[in-house]
Structures are given as C-alpha cells and as structure tokens.
C-alpha cells in the first residue's frame, strides 16, 4: 500500500465507522434502529445529545490542531459536528413553539407521578385550560374522584374513570376525566391494554363522540424493551378511524413512533398534535430539565376527523409534584 494511502486509512476508517454512528444518533429510522435498546434511550434526549456532540467536536478539533498525527482526531471532529448539527436540525424542524387557540375540544395529558401532583393541582390545570378530556397516567381512582369533586364545587362537571394494573404489572393506574357535556362513555373491555402498565379505550355510549384512549406504555428500559415495543404497537392499533383521540404518556418520542402509520409522521391513522402545531421539540420529562432539553414523551394523537389548533407544554406546573409536564392540545372538528 502506498505511503499516502496508509496515511489516509485511519481517516477513512474513522469517517466510515463514525458516519454509521452519526446515522444512529441523528436519524436511526434510516436503518430501522429507532427501537433498539441503546439507540431508543439516546435519541429520547436530542437537545442534550446535540450539545454533547458539539462539545466532543470542539475537543476533537482542538486535539487535531495540537497533535501532528491528526487524521483520527480530525475525522472524529467531523463526525461529532455532523451529529450535533443533525440533531439540532431535527429539533428545529419539529419546532419549539406552542400557543393557545380556540377550538371545539381541549385535551390534557399529565402523568402525575403516582400521586405526586395533588388533586388540587390537577383541578387547577383543568380549570385554567378549559379541558374537556384529561388523561392522567399514574393517577388512582381516589385522586381522580377528588378532582371531580373539586371541579363540581366550581360548576365544572366531569366524570372520572380508572383502569387498574393487571396482576404482576406495575401498580400504577391510569385515569380519565371526560366533560359531562360530551355524554356518557364506557370502557371497551375487548380493546385490551398496553402490557406492563394499564391503558384504556373508552367509547361513547350514544355513539356520537370520539373514541378516547388514555395510554401509558412502559418505558424502553433494559429487560422490558419487548413490552415497550408491544405497547407502542398497541397504541398504533388503536389509532384506527378518523374519530379517535389518544392521549397519554407514551414513553416514546416521534422517533420511536416512526414507521407505525400509513405515511411518514403518522401513528396508525393518527397524527401527533405537537408535530402538527410545530411544538414537537418541547420536552415533558423530566420536569427538572428545561423543556428544550427534556424528552417529549407525552402526546396527543388525533384521527383525521380532527384538526389541531394548538399544542402547549405547560412549564408552570414544574413545582407541582410530578416529574412530567402537562400538555394541552386544542382541537377542532374537520
């Protein structure tokens, strides 16, 4: 091998291997890796990932300038810079905006951290947002009933329902509040649930309102990745038909949900409300991180019969006791 080729070989190898790693870190959907264990956790936090790669790019660049044999360091600097810019571009495309608009239906999601957020805080959120549908993962029937009582004393009429964890699953129920103005709803026992943590499908008794799903799949942690995967597959299966509203802590970002629908950006037959409103880069967990750095894992998905008017991640409940931020989506009938 000529001397010049030998000198370039480390750079070529570094760029080749680094390019593959950059793809995994920026757009794993290209090779179907978005649900691989390590990749799934990594891409949940694109903001910190972009900053981390930027820091590594600077460090590698400085190393390349200070050392004579710079091929590997220079190659790493290029790869890290591409990964940093790529993740930043994804966040920019998904949007960090969020606003409030008028519509026909307001949907709220708040994982209350096993009762960490008290009923008074939930009631305040419902009151301030004007919510018609409230999905409350990790909220038990007693807390949901107390919220209904608080709101009733203020003239806001809602009905609560709760699905409990199956034996052997995580002991965290999922509750749903529905405004009485929408009419009575009943739990569809034949629809099943996400494995490991409870989710429920409620259908209108009179058949005139949307199907409402409160969902809470498990997170993509070691030893339960298969359950997580089956959970988000179940979510996609429920998004069948135009008159569906699915709300919950999905323990998944848009990256993980990619490929579960008929077209790019869809989940089953649903669209993500945050993505439609240009606010999908705002993170909801953990609330201890700024929204720009947190993972956007709490979602409202809507069927084609609904138009998204606005989507907002509420940061003014960060000290309310939950590790999640609530989200508010305003929808209109098409």
Least confident of 13-22, 188-197, 248-257: 13-22
CATH superfamily, domain 105-333, is: Endonuclease/exonuclease/phosphatase (3.60.10.10)
Residue tagged 């508010």 (tokens): 328
pLDDT exceeds cutoff 80 at 156: yes
For 19, list phi and psi in degrees, rounded to 5.
-65, -40
Q: Per residue in 229-252, is it b (16+ CB within 10 Å) or e — as a string?
A: bebbebbbebbeeebbbbbbbbbb
Query: Cα(42)–Cα(251) distance, rounded to whole angstroms?
Result: 13
pLDDT of res. 68: 61
**Residue % of the chain over a pLDDT of 70:** 96
Residue 295 DSSP symbol = B
- For residue 195, CA distances in Å to 94, 253, 284 come to 29, 19, 23
DSSP letters along 137-205, please?
ET--HHHHHHHHHHHHHTT--EEEEEEPPPTTS-S--EEEEEEGGG--EEE-GGG---TTS--EEEEET
Locate 94 and state its tokens: 């998904």
Task: Label residue 58 by pLDDT band (50, 70, 90).
Answer: very high
Cβ atoms of 284 and 313 within 8 Å: the answer is yes
pLDDT (average), residues 288-306:
97
The stretch 188-201 carries a mean pLDDT of 96
pTM to 2 decimal places: 0.93
Ramachandran region of residue 258, left (φ > 0), alpha (ψ -120 to 50) or beta? beta
What pLDDT sits at residue 155? Answer: 97
What is the strand order of the sheet 211-215 is part of?
185-187, 200-204, 211-215, 244-249, 298-302, 270-272, 266-267
* Average pLDDT score, the chain: 92
pLDDT tens for 85-124 read 999 999 999 998 766 788 999 999 999 999 999 999 999 9
Rg (CA), the chain: 22
d(CA 132, CA 105): 6
Domain layout of the chain by residue ranges = 3-94, 105-333
Per-residue confidence (pLDDT) for residue 244, from 0 to 100: 98
Q: What is the pLDDT of residue 217?
A: 97
Q: Please check the confidence at residue 276 and state whether its pLDDT lies above 70.
A: yes
pLDDT at 4 over 70: no
Q: Are strands 133-137 and 105-109 parallel, antiparallel or unpaired?
A: parallel
pLDDT at 24: 84
pLDDT beyond 90 at 169: no
Instruction: Decide if pLDDT at 265 tops 90.
Output: no
Q: How far apart are the first and last CA of the chain?
A: 67
Which comes out higher in pLDDT, residue 244 or 30? Answer: 244
Residue 179 has pLDDT above 70, yes or no: yes
Confidence of residue 48 (pLDDT cuts 50, 70, 90): very high
């Amino acid at each position: 091998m000529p001397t010049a080729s030998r000198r370039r070989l480390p750079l070529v190898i570094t760029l080749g291997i680094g390019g593959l790693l950059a793809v995994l870190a920026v757009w794993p959907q290209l090779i179907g890796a978005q649900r691989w264990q390590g990749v799934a956790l990594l891409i949940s936090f694109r903001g910190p990932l972009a900053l981390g790669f930027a820091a590594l790019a600077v460090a590698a660049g400085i190393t390349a300038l200070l050392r004579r044999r710079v091929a590997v360091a220079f190659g790493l600097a290029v790869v890290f810079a591409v990964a940093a810019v790529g993740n930043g571009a994804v966040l920019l495309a998904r949007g960090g905006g969020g606003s409030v608009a008028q519509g026909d239906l307001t949907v709220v999601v708040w994982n209350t951290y096993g009762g960490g957020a008290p009923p008074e805080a939930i009631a305040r959120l419902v009151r301030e947002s004007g919510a018609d549908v409230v999905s409350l993962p990790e909220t038990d029937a007693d807390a949901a009933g107390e919220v209904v009582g608080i709101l009733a004393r203020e003239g806001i009429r809602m009905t609560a329902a709760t699905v409990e964890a199956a034996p052997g699953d995580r002991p965290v129920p999922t509750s749903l509040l529905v405004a009485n103005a929408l009419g009575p709803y009943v739990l569809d026992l034949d629809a099943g649930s996400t494995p490991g943590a409870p989710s429920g499908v409620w259908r209108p008794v009179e058949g005139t309102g949307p199907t409402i799903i409160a969902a809470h799949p498990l997170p993509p942690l070691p030893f339960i990745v298969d359950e997580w995967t089956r959970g988000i597959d179940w979510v996609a299966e429920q998004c069948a038909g135009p008159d569906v509203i699915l709300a919950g802590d999905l323990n998944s970002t848009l990256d993980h949900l990619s490929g579960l629908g008929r077209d790019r950006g869809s989940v089953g037959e649903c669209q993500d409300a945050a993505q439609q409103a240009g606010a999908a880069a705002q993170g909801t967990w953990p609330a201890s991180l700024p929204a720009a750095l947190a993972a956007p894992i709490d979602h409202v998905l809507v069927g084609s019969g609904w138009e998204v008017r606005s989507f907002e991640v509420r940061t003014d409940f960060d000290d309310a006791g939950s590790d999640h931020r609530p989200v508010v989506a305003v929808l209109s009938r098409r």
